[in-house]
Amino acid sequence: METAMTDRLLCSLPLALLAIVATGAAAGTLTGTVQSESGEPVAGALVTLTDPASGIGESVYTGAAGRYSLRTRYVSGTLKLRVRQPYFRDAQADVELGPRQRRRHDVHMVAMTSPAEISDSLPAAYHFGRIAFREGTPFARDHFQRDCLTCHQVGNELTRIVRDAAAWENTIERMHRYLGNFDGGLRSERSRLLAAAFDGSPINVRPAFPFDPLAARARITQYRLDTAVLPHDAEISATDGLVYIADQFGDQLIVTDRATGKSRYFPAPAEGRYRGGKYARLGLPSLGAAAEALFRGPHSLAQGPDGRWYTTDTFATEIGVFNPRSWRWEQSYEIPDGQRLPSLYPHTIRFDRQGRIWFTLAFSEQVGRLDPVSRKVDVIDLPPRQSLGVAGGTVPYGIDVDPQDGSIWYARLWADRIGRIDPETLAVTEFDSPVKGPRRLRFDRHGTLWLTGYSDGVIAAVQTPGIESRVYPLPEFAPGYRPAAYALAVDPKTSQVWVNETMTDRLYRFDPRRERWTVYPLPLRGTYTREISFTADGEACTSNNPFQVTALEGSVAELICIDPQ
């Protein structure tokens, strides 16, 4: 990589830009131009500065003329610079950037030429797409997408390793067993299809990633979570502005301070619980070797009116309580069984306006209601439905509260159904979902229900009084290669919809008023994000946590925050 660098002190800047953050470093600025070997500007390249010691990374995009300006908030000293753009080799260098310094660093990027090099650089979606799907059968793309991408990508560097059908069958048997499926014929045919698709040869598809000036305004901050295992949902506290993260396979809560970039870890106490949770206590099949070693498994979290954090403890089948004033876990709430099935795997959690907790029970076809004051827990058995895929049940997944009438809405991932619960009578009404694989859902402040369709890479806006809906496909960058829309959140100030997508290493933002998508390439390959929460100053934050984390470039989970402006 060719570089040109000049240093000069900043003589005058607004005081806000010179504010010293808690790390002791004041803002420095790196500017430059990114060009191809022929001197053409490279627009939309992702320019990242990382502090190797703290693991904090800060990124901006180049504009239409290939220029960038990255004013750091956290990092200074000897930093790692990386410039990344599809179809070019990464440009990397060590950069010295002191407090209040301004440096120039121009970059010339070298185009990839080898088909194998290009193939290896592309996101998982384009490798997954070479499977010989058979529409109208259990081997259709939408079935594969819902059945096989639920916790991790298929097609990334880790999962596309060449193996024969027999080796694939061992893996698929384990994956299907976690979901309660023991169909040998389905397993064998999927094994054959995957072995044929991932044969080590380069893929030929060349997705086109257009430059978007709206995306180029953004900046990204990465906070490395060094000892996290599977930091699932991340939520911003309304009281202290810290980020609270439920680390499901770490059996802990993580608290990240965006002002310093530092994180604290609070293990959830076992306190006499069974190792392996309720599954071990009841003698049920385990959820894998990692889960067998754990006691609680906090997954989703919500802050209550009392300031405490309430977590869905998936393995223990409890609602956990964490007090941020004392930095201690408190007494949990045990979830009773339903009338038909033992309660299992509390999943997503929300508060209603009365201060009651609502949560889905993913593996027992139920929704729960908890009154933290009386400690009364009600378990609502949902109407029996047939699973439409590999899962043994329908997996009640996302849940939210209608701001207009207080009703509770949920999605059943493997049933293609959404439902409404009357919060007082607990009466349940279900409807056909407008999307396949309805996963997570949220209301905007106007009462429109937004939900993701994981099977087809779409989102839907639903007017709940009449269940009228409109479906918006996520952009695809090569015909027929659909994204996988996992979760979404609605910015409370702008009403724009942010979508976690798990196969293209990108986040998506939808402006309903203009019906316009903005897509943000993210710094790491193998990215798998779960849920978005918003800071008071307008950033969108989410955890990056594929399972296993070794599928993520660098093999360390992280918190990502995007400032769209």
Residues 12, 107 within the same domain: yes
Q: How many domains does the chain have?
A: 2
The answer to whether position 468 is within a domain reads no
Q: What is the CA radius of gyration of the chain?
A: 24
pLDDT in tens, the chain (565 residues): 433 333 322 222 222 222 333 343 458 999 999 999 999 999 999 999 999 999 999 999 999 999 999 999 888 899 999 999 999 999 999 999 998 899 999 999 999 999 999 999 999 999 999 999 999 999 999 999 999 998 899 999 999 999 999 999 999 998 888 888 888 999 999 999 999 999 999 999 999 999 999 999 999 999 999 999 999 999 999 999 999 999 999 999 999 999 999 999 999 999 999 999 999 999 998 888 889 999 999 999 999 999 999 999 999 999 999 999 999 999 999 999 999 999 999 999 999 999 999 999 999 999 999 999 999 999 999 999 999 999 999 999 999 999 999 999 999 999 999 999 999 999 999 999 999 999 999 999 999 999 999 999 999 999 998 899 999 999 999 999 999 999 999 999 999 999 999 999 999 999 999 999 999 999 999 999 999 999 999 999 999 999 889 999 999 999 999 999 9
* Last residue of one domain, picked from the residues 54, 79, 112: 112
Residues 32, 80 within the same domain: yes
Residues 70, 167 within the same domain: no
Q: In what order do the strands lie in the sheet with 506-511?
A: 485-490, 497-501, 506-511, 516-521
- Which residue, chain included where needed, has tokens 């014929």? 185
Strand 57-61 with 438-443, pairing: unpaired
The answer to whether position 137 is within a domain reads yes
Measured CA to CA, the distance from residue 444 to residue 489 in angstroms comes to 9
Residues 101, 121 within the same domain: no
- Residue 122: closest CA among 160, 163, 149: 160
Note the pLDDT of residue 22.
39
Note the pLDDT of residue 17.
29
The answer to whether position 170 is within a domain reads yes
Cβ(251)–Cβ(276) below 8 Å: no
Containing structural domain, residue 185: 116-197
Residues 17, 89 within the same domain: yes
* Last residue of one domain, picked from the residues 153, 178, 197: 197
The answer to whether position 258 is within a domain reads no
* Last residue of one domain, picked from the residues 171, 197, 223: 197
Note the pLDDT of residue 21.
38
Residues 11, 104 within the same domain: yes
Note the pLDDT of residue 26.
58
**CATH number reported for the structural domain that contains residue 35 in this entry:** 2.60.40.1120
Residue 490 CB contacts under 8 Å (≥ 6 apart), including other chains: 442, 443, 444, 445, 450, 496, 497, 498
The structure's pTM equals 0.93
The answer to whether position 514 is within a domain reads no
Residues 122, 187 within the same domain: yes
Neighbours of 487 (CB within 10 A): 25
